[in-house]
Amino acid sequence: MKDSTPRFDYISTADLPTQHGKFKIHGFVEVESNQEHVALSYGDWSEDDTVLIRVHSECLTGDALYSTRCDCGFQLERALKNIVDKGRGVLLYLRQEGRGIGLLNKIKAYNLQDTGLDTVEANEHLGFDADLRDYSICQYMLDKLNVQKVSLMTNNPKKIAALESMGINVVERLAIDHGITDDNKGYIKTKTQKLGHEFDPHLLK
C-alpha cells in the first residue's frame, strides 16, 4: 500500500521588509524530520516566466555572524540584491548547516581545519561525506510559488543537476563569485578542486 503521508508541507506567508527591499517569507517543513525551511520571494511572475533564484544552505557563521572563513554570507547578500535589481525572484533558504552536518559538527570541522585539514578532509575525518545536502524540498517550494523555469545563481553544478532531476527547467546558470577573501580563498579552492564548484580562476590567484 502506497504511503500517502506528505513529505513536505507549506505553513504560512508573511511580509518581510529587509535592507534590500520588501520580500515575502514563506514557511515550509519536512514532515518526517520536522526540519523547517523558508523561501523569500520578491515581485510577481507567471508560470511561463524564467525566475531568478538562489538555493542557499544555512550558514549561521557566515550569514548572521559575518564570518569571512567562507563566502556564504557574501553570496546571500549578493543574491538578495540581484533579485531586487531584477525586479523579481526567489531565494530558497534551506536549513542544512555545514553542508548537512549541523552547526556543532561544523565547529568541530573548523577546529580540524585550524590544524591543517581542508574542508573536505575535516568532514570526512568526522565520519561524514563531503556534502550531505538534500535539495528534494526545492521542487515543492518552487511549485508552491508557481516557478517552473529558473535562472539559477550558483557556482555548484550539483545544484543544477538536482533541480533538473526534479523537472525544474534550469534555463541558465549565473555565477555568484562574490566574497572571496584572504581568509576563505583556500576553502574556495578546495570546493573547486574537490567538489566541482566553478569559480573564475583569476579571482583565486
Sheet containing strand 50-57, edge to edge, reads 8-17, 22-30, 35-42, 89-94, 50-57, 149-153, 169-174
Q: Determine which helix (DSSP H) or strand (DSSP E) holds 25, and give its type and residue range.
A: strand 22-30
> Residue 100: which residues within 8 A CB-CB, separation 6 or more?
57, 128, 131, 132, 133, 134
Q: Among this protein's residues, is 133 annotated catalytic?
A: yes
Burial annotation 52-85 (CB, 10 A radius, 16+ → b, else e) = bbbbbbbbebbbeeebebbbbbbbbbbbbebbbe
Set 118, 133, 173, 200: catalytic member: 133
Set 69, 131, 143, 182: catalytic member: 131
**How far is residue 17's CA from residue 25's CA, in Å, rounded to a whole number?**
9
Q: Kindly list the catalytic residues.
A: 131, 133
